[in-house]
Amino acid sequence: KPHSTVFSMIQPTGRFHLGNYLGAVKTWKDITTHTPKESNVNLIFGVADLHAITVPKHSAAEMKELRYEAIASILSTGIDSDKAIVYHQSAVQEHAELNWILSCISSMGYLNRMTQWKSKSSDVGANASLGLYAYPVLQAADILLYKSNLVPVGDDQSQHLELCRSIADSFNHKFGKTFPLPNTIFAPTKKILNLKNPAKKMSKSDPDKLSCLYITDEPEVISKKIKKAVTDSIMTEFKFDPENRPGVSNLINIISGLQMKSIADVEAELVGMKSHKEFKDHVTGLIIEEFTEPRLKFNELLKDREHLQRVVNQGNDRARAIASKTIKEVKQKVGL
CB of residue 68 to ligand ADP, shortest distance in Å = 16
Rounded-to-integer distance, Cα 118 and Cα 205, Å: 16
Produce one character per residue of 46-83: b if its CB has 16 or more CB atoms within 10 Å, e if not: bbbbbbbbbbeebeeeebeebbbbbbbbbbbbbbebeb
303 has catalytic annotation: no
At 263, is the secondary structure helix, strand, or coil? helix
User: Considering 83, 120, 191, 325, which one is annotated as catalytic?
Assistant: 120
- Choice between 192 and 255, CB closer to ligand ADP: 192
Bridge pairing between strands 41-47 and 183-186: unpaired
Measured N-to-C along each axis, helices 158-175 and 130-145 cross at an angle, to the nearest 10 degrees, of: 70
DSSP state of 88: E
Element at 70 (helix H, strand E): helix 60-76
- Choice between 24 and 101, CB closer to ligand ADP: 24
- Choice between 204 and 325, CB closer to ligand ADP: 204
Task: List residues near ligand ADP by CB under 6 A.
Answer: 10-11, 13, 19-20, 23-24, 153-154, 156-157, 191-192, 201-205
Which amino acid, one-letter code, is at 35?
A: T
CB of residue 9 to ligand ADP, shortest distance in Å = 7
Of 240, 246, 291, 290, the closest CA to residue 262 belongs to: 240
User: Considering 190, 201, 280, 297, which one is annotated as catalytic?
Assistant: 201
CB of residue 13 to ligand ADP, shortest distance in Å = 5
Q: Which long-range contacts (CB under 8 A, 24 or more apart) does 215-218 make?
A: 215/15, 215/16, 215/17, 215/18, 215/21, 215/73, 215/76, 215/77, 215/291, 215/294, 215/295, 215/298, 216/15, 216/16, 216/291, 216/294, 216/295, 216/298, 216/299, 217/291, 217/295, 218/295
CB of residue 244 to ligand ADP, shortest distance in Å = 20
- Choice between 58 and 204, CB closer to ligand ADP: 204
- Choice between 231 and 253, CB closer to ligand ADP: 253
CB of residue 190 to ligand ADP, shortest distance in Å = 8
- Choice between 146 and 171, CB closer to ligand ADP: 146
Cα→Cα distances 147→12, 27, 94, 200, Å: 23, 20, 13, 33
201 has catalytic annotation: yes
Strand partners, 220: none
- Choice between 19 and 315, CB closer to ligand ADP: 19
Q: 44 with 148: CB under 8 angstroms?
A: yes
CB of residue 321 to ligand ADP, shortest distance in Å = 25
Element at 87 (helix H, strand E): strand 84-88
User: Considering 83, 191, 204, 333, which one is annotated as catalytic?
Assistant: 204
333 has catalytic annotation: no
CB of residue 233 to ligand ADP, shortest distance in Å = 25
By annotation, the residues acting in catalysis are 120, 201, 204
